[in-house]
Amino acid sequence: MVSDERSSLDDAADATLAARAVDGDVRAFEVIVRRHGPLMRAYATRILGSNSDADDVVQDTFITAWERLGELQDPAATKAWLMRITSRKAIDRIRARRTDQPFGEWDVPAPESESPHHQAEAASQRERLTRALATLSEAQRECWTLREIGGHSYAEIAEELDVPPSTVRGLLARARQKLMQEMEEWR
Residues in contact with other proteins by the rule CB under 8 A:
1-7, 9-13, 15-16, 19-20, 22-26, 29-30, 33-34, 37-39, 41-43, 45-46, 55, 58-59, 62-63, 66-67, 116, 124-126, 129-130, 144, 147-149, 153-154, 169-170, 172-174, 176-181, 183-187
Q: Which is nearer to other proteins, 101 or 164 (CB)?
A: 164
The smaller minimum CB distance to other proteins, of residues 16 and 94, is found at 16
CA-nearest of 48, 115, 122 to 88 is: 48
- Residue 102 CB, shortest distance to other proteins, in Å, is 23
- Sorted by sequence, the CB contacts under 8 Å of residue 28 that are 6+ apart come out as 9, 12, 16, 17, 18, 20, 21
Of 186, 187, 155, nearest to 172 by C-alpha is 155
* Contact between 140 and 168 (Cβ < 8 Å): no
Pick 60 or 138: Cβ nearer other proteins: 60
Report how far residue 66's alpha carbon sits from residue 114's, in angstroms, rounded to the nearest whole number.
43
- Least separation in angstroms between CB 106 and other proteins: 19
Q: Is the Cβ of residue 58 or residue 91 nearer to other proteins in the bound state?
A: 58
Could you say which DSSP state residue 49 is in? Answer: S
